[in-house]
Chains A and B, each alone.
Chain A
């Protein structure tokens, strides 16, 4: 958490009174906030007026849809680990943030959502643009506040940032009625945080950690299952040292992508439904599974009862409610992952830790890797996987990628090897289509000198396409590479596998004249013209021989850019472990049939 204080207002030092909206902006600046993604309206315009007064200290970026602003803030937060701040007006402005709040809750993202509310005397009167956003979001926030007095604002902001960014991070809503924004009060910025029911500092005992080290020493086929918690607690360096000293191979979750360099020999990339066969085989055959900062999500475990059946499981998580929630384990340990890893490294020296001999296990894993790499059939057309391979090559794996939701969301991390944490930003828990481009804008605002590219599907991208305007007008150089197959590809894949190929609202263009690399005239919509309408440079590519040049052109361009890559729609994401099944049912090749009941799974 950044606590940098930049030019705190002189007024507050003298304890002079300010209106609530000014108090809010002052408090945000004191929290080190440099960017706010905010869309104004009747009940929030007072706060925008205050933001303008302080525009040399805090930059306000106008999205073209509140949800876009919410995902920009979330992308910013995911890329930096700092709180991302979005703001909207009451009623529809606030409800448009709900998806972003729920999304951040699922993926433990420190999002601060500030909403204007109708004046207090109108609350409960069904006033214009009134909605009970506090009540509506209760089940999707880490915490929330309805501010009733302007003098409470400094303390509320301090508490909100503390709650959002510490422990297991999450979204915090601050709802501020317009009269509170407009009433003057003396704010006390030095007040204690004072949250008696909130203690985010969790450290495991040496006894527990020593036991884990003993288990590792005795293990023959251990696997480290690293989740988003490793990234959240900024423990990638500790994890690297830990893995190097123990020799335990790593398979991450998608939230954990980048927690361990995927180019390293001990990395099995990521596992789960569409992850590496190697990772899935290794976990299934492990005798010791070290789950660090992970939550046994159904997309990871498949049939949770049969997941890692042969293994003793150590589950280290800062959130105790994750223990035994989905999977009952032998060794639940509550701790911050960074602390646990750092302390185990110390204990290794103190207790003369003996690394197990894993040479046979490493050999077996190497064999799986060789035998079951991610693979696809080359075609005369550009394959989506191929586009990712070329992008990886040309960016040398150094870009920040965001995604929408669907097939492209799987292909992107399959064919791109991440070396750094916070480089793959994706809506993984909630699975929100439309997440990719605004999240890329947020990440680009945080890291203007890094290449930030949204890998998107034509379905997902359309859901927040209006943010091309934000990119252009605000001068944010985030790029988008659409893997355009004219379908909702992942649903099509499930239709093919489980519904005999019946297309039920999964074709995005004219169903009687479906666009494809072989039928370019039917491609719909024309993304290049749309981008041009927004003033964003764009190019379409459908010939294999043009792919590399087109991606290079995108990378060379300074500023936002849209690359529309036309790909065939009949490609499936493989491997695939059908929902609720086990590694034994993993589909590895396109013609492999797995007998499943129609409509099975989720």
Chain B
């Protein structure tokens, strides 16, 4: 089962290595990982999608909380957070199939952010289902390169911070 975990960390040297190292060192699987500073520049948010059962999730949260530079950890239950991912895809496209690709993008509200004689770069933002469906559609064309952010998430309402521990 996949779990989305949001980790607020001090924006310090080596913190990402500690977080990522905790996963590898204890044998937990990371599906995706995203990290960037937040509005308070002294902090960063790491969003991890991890794979495992409820006991694994429980251990991941506790072990992350043990890291000195970790301020807060939230394991989102279903529906507690809005989740988005951004995907960039460069696909082979020419004058023959270009309009079909544009149509698909319209349906998915994806953007075309670059066009070349024999390729296009598409951008889509959405939750997991939408990104998956879009990807399924464009895979009928030749995908040359793909890059995605991994999931980002924010709690819908203010969640009381659990004891930092």
Contact = CB atoms under 8 A, between A and B. Distances in A.
A142 interface: yes
A197 interface: yes
Interface stretch (B62-70, B123-131, B148-156): B62-70
Interface in A111-146: 134-135, 138-139, 142-144, 146
Nearest to B9: A197
Given A138-B21, A197-B164, A143 B68 contact: yes
B18 A199 contact: no
Interface in A141-179: 142-144, 146, 148, 163
Interface in B50-71: 55, 58-59, 62-63, 65-71
Contact of A325 (B9, B59, B65): B59
Interface in A302-328: 319-321, 323-325, 328
Interface in B1-51: 9-10, 13-14, 17-18, 21-22, 25
B66 A321 contact: yes
A134 B68 contact: no
Nearest to B69: A197
Given A196-B71, A197-B10, A197-B71, A138 B18 contact: yes
Interface in A79-138: 134-135, 138
Nearest to B43: A196
- Chain B, interface size category, equals 20 to 34
Given A138-B18, A199-B165, A334-B165, A324 B58 contact: yes
A165 to B, nearest CB: 14
Nearest to A134: B14
Contact of B21 (A139, A148, A323): A139
A356 B25 CA distance: 44
B163 interface: yes
Given A196-B71, A197-B71, A320 B14 contact: no
Interface string A197-215: 1110010000000000000
Contacts of A328: 55
B38 to A, nearest CB: 14
18 contacts: A135-B14, A138-B17, A138-B18, A139-B21, A139-B22, A143-B68, A146-B14, A148-B13, A195-B68, A196-B10, A197-B10, A197-B67, A197-B68, A197-B69, A199-B164, A319-B66, A323-B62, A324-B59
Closest 3 A/B residue pairs (Cβ) = A321-B62, A139-B25, A143-B68
